[in-house]
Amino acid sequence: MIIQLENTIQNADILHIEQRVNSLGYQLNKVKTQFGQYLVAVGSAEFDIRKIGQLKGIRDIHRVSDAYKLVSKKWRVQDTEIDLGDGVKIGRNNLSIMAGPCAIENEAQITSTISHLNTNKIRIMRGGVFKPRTSPYAFRGAGIEGLKIFSAHCKANGIKVITEVMQADQIEEMMDYVDIFQVGTRNAQNFNLLDALGEVDKVVMLKRGFSGSIDELLQAAEYVYSNGNEKIILCERGIRTFEKAYRNTLDLNAVPILKEKSHLPVVVDPSHGVGLRNYIEPMALAAVMAGADGVIVEVHQCPEKAASDGQQTLDYKEAEQLYDRLRQTYSLKKSFNGF
Ligand code: PEP
Ligand code: MN
């Protein structure tokens, strides 16, 4: 059960509601976010919710039986739209394309990518500076100094930055240089990191764990939301299966299911989801047809020379064709939905 409180509610009224709900055998959690105040009640007793709903200071009350509550669509029917400023919005009626290299390598690569993005009206650049690598000997990223240069060029060009944060103690130093914190697949259930990202007023994109269920992704999002941050994007990036013909199995089933279960925007990462350049475009277009609000793709001036993930990275020409076709596909999908 979710109890939405009036923003002006008095403490005494909160206490009164808490006592009433506790007396029904429900356990209560107080949540205060950028946008509202909620009491999330967990319990199973049947009762007439109108009796609670009429108490002073309550804006609305909703029964949500899922394990995740605040990220559920059962109480917020309208999809979430995230506003990054400067006209960049994610979710609801927007197609978001995020593009850039797997890893930030040097300044020339940053400026080259930005001019490619500008030409193609792409407003969000990806690029890791802290890279989780399977081998400790692989390139592990340009670090905070690389991020500062990445951010300065993006700010000067009205482009938003998405980059991975690997641990909670990096959040503060990264804060001023990031528009979207990406949580990588390997950190999908790092609950300390999720708690910490709930405490900042910054957009968070949660990648699905490579062995994580849809429900676990939603519960990870619930960690962030219930700690105070409503600005969350869900990302399907492929899961590990027995199939060896490609890097991961991009689970596009998850897209319409996530869209039905949650009000949060859903972005698909076909680059890691397939892991092979030739299949990125068809899977990206399929993601849009499945209902994704956006796509995040790896793009590099010269993929053969990329410091990481070159085999799944598009060159500029391939990327341009993809952006075009993504936009066409999105229009087609919208026409099916009749809006
Ligand atoms: C990435 O986006 O570069 C990345 C490492 O993603 P994932 O966590 O999905 O592997
Ligand atoms: Mn990568």
Q: Residue of the nearest CA to atom 1 in ligand 1?
A: 102
Categorize the per-residue pLDDT at 337 as very low, low, confident or very high, splitting at 50, 70 and 90.
confident
- Secondary element (H or E) of residue 256: helix 254-261
Q: With a cut of 60, say whether residue 339 has pLDDT above it.
A: no
Return the pLDDT at 167: 97
Residues lying with their CB under 5 A of ligand 2, a single-atom ion: 102, 309
Q: Does the Cβ of 265 fall within 6 Å of ligand 1? A: no
What pLDDT digit, counting tens, does each position of 88-127 carry? 999 999 999 999 999 999 999 999 999 999 999 999 999 9
Mean pLDDT of all residues in 33-41: 97
Mean pLDDT of all residues in 193-203: 98
Domain definitions of the chain by residue range: 2-62, 82-337
Mean pLDDT of the chain: 97
Q: Residue holding tokens 């299911």?
A: 257
Question: Are the CB atoms for 297 and 290 separated by under 8 Å?
Answer: no
Euclidean distance between CA atoms 129 and 169, whole angstroms: 15
CA of residue 128 to ligand 2 center, whole Å: 8
Homologous superfamily of the 82-337 domain (CATH): Aldolase class I (3.20.20.70)
Euclidean distance between CA atoms 100 and 319, whole angstroms: 10
Q: With a cut of 70, say whether residue 279 has pLDDT above it.
A: yes
Q: Does the Cβ of 273 fall within 6 Å of ligand 1? A: no
Query: 238: left (phi > 0), else alpha (psi -120 to 50), else beta?
Result: left
Question: Are the CB atoms for 313 and 271 separated by under 8 Å?
Answer: yes
Categorize the per-residue pLDDT at 338 as very low, low, confident or very high, splitting at 50, 70 and 90.
low
Return the pLDDT at 10: 96
Of ligand 1's listed atoms, the one at least distance from the Cα of 126 is 2
Q: Does the Cβ of 207 fall within 6 Å of ligand 1? A: yes
Please tell me the CATH code under which domain 2-62 is placed.
3.30.70.1140
Euclidean distance between CA atoms 81 and 267, whole angstroms: 13
Q: How many whole angstroms from its chain centre is CA 268?
A: 10
Euclidean distance between CA atoms 209 and 95, whole angstroms: 24
The DSSP letter of residue 6 is P
